Each structure stands twice: as C-alpha cells, then as structure tokens.
Structure 1
Amino acid sequence: MPAGQPKQRQIAFKQKQKQALYNLIKECYQEYSWSIEWMCRQARIARSAYCKWLDHKPSQRELRDQKILERIKEIAKSNNSLFGSPKMTMALNNELAAGETKIYRRTVARLMCVNGIYTSKARFNKIYRYKASRPEETAENILHRNFNASSPNEKWCTDITEEKIPEIFQRIFLCTIFDLYDRFPVGYALSKHNDTALVNAALSNAWKKEPDSHAMLHSDRGFQFTRAPFKHELEEHGMSQSMSRVGRCIDNGPMEGWQGLIKEIRAVLYPNVNSYEKMKTAFKASIAYYIHHDPQERFNGKTAGQVRKEAKDNPDQAAAYPIKQDKRYIAFWKKIKAKKKQLV
C-alpha cells in the first residue's frame, strides 16, 4: 500500500490482501488437495483465522454498508461525483422512508474513502479587476449582513457572474435573483452581454414567478443596479433597495457563494461545453439540478426546492432556518473586543 494513504484505506487494503490469500488457499485445497495446515504455515497465518473466514457470514452492518455503497456509486455516477461525503450523506438520508435508520456521515466518508470515491469539484483562484463607476443612484446597506429571513420573498439578493466558454473565447453572463430565506433562485437570465437588459430580464422572470413580492433587493454597486430607472422600477413594485459598501463583497456573501457553487456544479455535470448555446443549456440544467437535487446542511438535508414548496404550502407555518455562526468567527471577534478593551 503506498505511503501517505488514509488510515481507513490502508486497513481495507490489508483486509483485501488477507481475503485474496484465503481464497488462494481455498482454491489450492480444492484443486490440488494441498494441506491447509501446511499452506497456512507457509503464508504465516493462523489456521483458525482461515477457518473463521471460511465459515464467515456477512453481518447486518456489512450488508447495510454494501447497500449504501451501491447507492453512493449510483449517485456519484449520475452527477460525475459532484458530492463530497457531507452532501452525499444528506442525499442518502433524503431518500430514506419513514422509520428507516439514519445514515451517518462517518459511515459515508469511510465507504467513499475506502472505495476511492471523491468529489470532482475543484476550486481555482481567480483574479478579478473591477472598473470604477459613477453611480446615478446609490442606496444604504439596509441588509447590513443580516442574511436570515423568516419567510420567502422577504429579502432578495442579486449579482452578475461570468463564465468563459472554452475554445471559442466567448463569455456567458448569468444574473440571478436569489431569495435569502431558502437560497432559491427566484429568477435568472443568461446573455452574451453584461448589460442592463440582462438584469431587467432576470428581475422580470422573478416577478413572473412572484408577482406579489415586495422584497428588499440587495446588490453591489454595479452600474446595472445604480441607474435611476432601475431604482424607479423597484419603487413601482413596492420594493426597497439595499447596496453593499464599496469594495465589501462580503456584504453580499450568500449571493457570491451561490454563484461559485452553481459554476462548480456546471463544471462537474457538464465539463465538455464548447459553444454558447450548450453553455446556456448547461447552466439551466445545473440550476434545475441545484433546486431539486442538491441537499443543504442548513435545511437539514432538504433541497432549496423542497424548503420553498413547504413554505408556500403552509405560509403561516414557514419553518425557520437560522444561519449557524462559525465558531472560528465568534472566537476571532472575542479576541478583537478583548484587544480593544486593553487599549482603552
């Protein structure tokens, strides 16, 4: 076994080696009538261990692991190994019928590790260069990084992202209207051009799906969102506007994170795209996959589509899904506050 491999895989590799040796002894005994005791002595294994293996029957755990592994392989094959162990666990539990035993992440991680099943998502460091703009209209940061929402259509975010199309040196632009309650893409539009028409199309699609929405819309200070006509259009629909601070992309963090996620899903599910129309189709299919098949830890393994449907079916009893604050951030800000007190 190559050095540096995970411990679980090393253990599994040793077990497979032993099973192969046991099978060899069994075959030699059946075909050549060689002495089992002599073969065990030559292989430096206990005869009792061989006899125990010979009479072994799969345990309930082994049978369950085999069943889980088969489903893991099916899911990995269906989405080009898009999921790591956390999302694979949520996807498996999302399929369980009422009363079935919950599958734990450690079990899934072990089975994936031993069988060499890994997520094919890759993260790349990109350098973005932004051009300064002169906005016609600006708005205060009303959202103020409060990304929690108690019901659908309370807080919307929007932004534009781009993707380069290989071989033809062309770009495609995606503008999305994103609901902070259920991380649901209410409306989106794709175009060859990063212009005001792209934003208008995405917003129109959102209004078609949610005509009665008066959500607050948060964006960055891109020229598409700082135009006076855009602001007036929001006001006509009874929507307030909020904007990130200059150079503070974290103020629109969930939207930025979702854009990166949807591009990763597209790259995994549809890696070989070489035309604008194919890329457009790939993005639409990836967004549909995200809505219906991508489980979210924050939603207890449910998809964005499931959470939205539940909230729509029972608007008076919409479940709360508060964002869990990272312990590292809590510890970091405690240290900052402590240092400030010392300076005073």
Structure 2
Amino acid sequence: RKSRRYNSYKGTIGRVAKNLIHRRFYTSIPHQKVTTDTSEFKYYEHDKNKKLVIKKLYLDPFLDMFNGEILSYRISERPNAKAIMDAQKEAIDRTDDCPYRRTFHSDQGWAYQMKAYKKQLTKQNIFQSMSRKGNCFDNSPMENFFGLLKQEMYYGVIYASFKQLKQAIEDWIHYRIKTKLGCSPIQYREQMTA
C-alpha cells in the first residue's frame, strides 16, 4: 500500500533564508557548498501478536556539492532536531578547512528554520540558503542522492528491522562510488587538492 510521502515542511516556524544557491550547484572548491535534507524509509516488523507493522527510519545527510561526498549523517527512528543538529555540527567541523565562506543549503523544512540550526551557521560565519517552497529542483543534488540510494539498495527489498535497514544504508554510503568521478568522492577530493 502506498502511503503519503514524508514532508518536513510545517509552514513558517522560524525565518526562511534566501535561496543563495539558485541552482548553481557546481563548485570547484571542496567544502564550499553543502546541502542537506531528510528522507524517510520504511521497514516491517512483527509486533507481539505476530501482526506485521510498518515502521519508519529517517536519514539526515550533509552532502558536499563539490564531489557528492557525504560529510556527515544521522539515522533515527523519528524526525528530530538532535539528529540534524549532530550531523550539522560534524559537517561544520569537517568543512572548516574551506578557504572561502561556506554555504549550507536545504529546503524549508522545520528543522532548518530552527533558531539553534541557524545560530550554529551564524556562529561559524556560514551562509544559510533555502530552496523555494515546494521546489525539489532547487535541491536536486540531495534529491539525486536519495534517488540513487533508494534505487540501489532500498526499492524491491524488504527490511525486517531498524538495525538491518540502518546497516544497509551505512554500508551503501561507505561503499558508494560516483561513476562520473571515476573513483570515490574522497579520492576525487584528494586528487583535486593535491
């Protein structure tokens, strides 16, 4: 049975940032442009009455637009601020070597409008950019990542536990090779900055 797609937009709960990226996703500088979003996955477990129950898992990755590398991510059983804030902090720390001012891009989801999320970016002198409301093409690098991930390891496979699905996602992220780069995203960055 097809269910409603997860949507992190809950209206304006904070301040919406301007779209500074304007679909200019390409950058020749590692760690300059970073994008993020949340995606929902389903798995199936039996409850104590042996009835099949649909459960959900949420993935919050931060992706470097330079090479498609996942800088950080968190996986949780429900959408929550802590997972996003922890992944954001790790992404900020990992991109600290960028010689130019960084931009973190997202959609207008509730988590990216939070004062705490914005405060961390401001504190590190990072620009915040947001897609226009309801326009997935404004964040296509992240949408493409989710599409590729689900196509290669999720669609057509039934996962029987949170642990099993989480492990499959982690294995895919760590193994992932961008064919257009001809090597892993990390190797590509090292070659370009050597």
Coarse TM-score class (shorter-chain normalised): 0.7 to 0.9
Partner amino acid, structure 1, of 2:151: E
Q: Structure 1 CA distance, aligned partners of 2:30 and 2:71?
A: 10
**Displacement after TM superposition at 1:278 (Å):** 1.5
Percent of paired sites with the same residue: 27
Q: Structure 2 CA distance, aligned partners of 1:152 and 1:240?
A: 16
Query: Which residue pairs with 2:105 in the alignment?
Result: 218
**Displacement after TM superposition at 1:236 (Å):** 0.5
Structure 1 residues 169 and 281, CA gap change in structure 2 (3 angstroms): same
What SS does structure 1 have at the residue aligned with 2:92?
A: helix
Q: Which has the larger radius of gyration?
A: 1
TM-score, with length taken from structure 2: 0.85
Q: Structure 2 CA distance, aligned partners of 1:174 and 1:155?
A: 20
Query: Which residue pairs with 1:154 in the alignment?
Result: 32
Query: Which residue pairs with 1:334 in the alignment?
Result: none
Once the two structures are superposed, what CA deviation does each residue of 1:192-242 show, in whole Å capped at 9, x if it has no partner?
110111211211222343344552000000000011221111011111100
Query: Which residue pairs with 1:296 in the alignment?
Result: 179
Query: Which residue pairs with 1:231 in the alignment?
Result: 118
Matched, 1:174 2:59: yes
The one of 74, 80, 87 equivalent to 1:202 is 87
What SS does structure 2 have at the residue aligned with 1:169?
A: strand
Once the two structures are superposed, what CA deviation does each residue of 1:271-316 show, in whole Å capped at 9, x if it has no partner?
35311111111111010111xxx2422x2x233232122134x2xx
Give the CA RMSD over aligned residues. 2.2
Matched, 1:263 2:150: yes
**Displacement after TM superposition at 1:267 (Å):** 2.5
What SS does structure 1 have at the residue aligned with 2:63?
A: strand
Structure 1 residues 305 and 245, CA gap change in structure 2 (3 angstroms): same
Once the two structures are superposed, what CA deviation does each residue of 1:72-119 show, in whole Å capped at 9, x if it has no partner?
xxxxxxxxxxxxxxxxxxxxxxxxxxxxxxxxxxxxxxxxxxxxxxxx
What SS does structure 2 have at the residue aligned with 1:166?
A: strand
**Displacement after TM superposition at 1:254 (Å):** 0.9
**Equivalent pair of 2:37/2:62 in contact (CA under 8 Å):** yes
Describe how 1:286-325 pairs up with structure 2 within 5 A.
286-290=172-176, 294-297=177-180, 299=181, 301-312=182-193, 314=194
Query: Which residue pairs with 2:50 in the alignment?
Result: none
Moved more, 211-220 or 256-265: 211-220
Q: Structure 2 CA distance, aligned partners of 1:305 and 1:211?
A: 16
Matched, 1:277 2:158: no
Structure 1 residues 232 and 129, CA gap change in structure 2 (3 angstroms): closer
Count of residues in correspondence between the two structures: 183
**Equivalent pair of 1:151/1:311 in contact (CA under 8 Å):** no
Q: Structure 1 CA distance, aligned partners of 2:143 and 2:3?
A: 14
**Equivalent pair of 1:156/1:218 in contact (CA under 8 Å):** yes
Query: Please, which runs of 5 or more residues in structure 2 have no aligned partner?
Result: 46-52
Query: Which residue pairs with 2:49 in the alignment?
Result: none
User: Counting strand residues as a fraction of each chain, which structure ranks higher?
Assistant: 2
Query: Please, which runs of 5 or more residues in structure 1 have no aligned partner?
Result: 1-124, 315-344
TM-score, with length taken from structure 1: 0.50
**Equivalent pair of 2:43/2:158 in contact (CA under 8 Å):** no
**Equivalent pair of 1:157/1:177 in contact (CA under 8 Å):** yes
Q: Which has the higher contact order (CA 8 A, sep 6+)?
A: 2
**Displacement after TM superposition at 1:129 (Å):** 6.3
**Equivalent pair of 2:71/2:91 in contact (CA under 8 Å):** yes
**Equivalent pair of 1:296/1:304 in contact (CA under 8 Å):** no
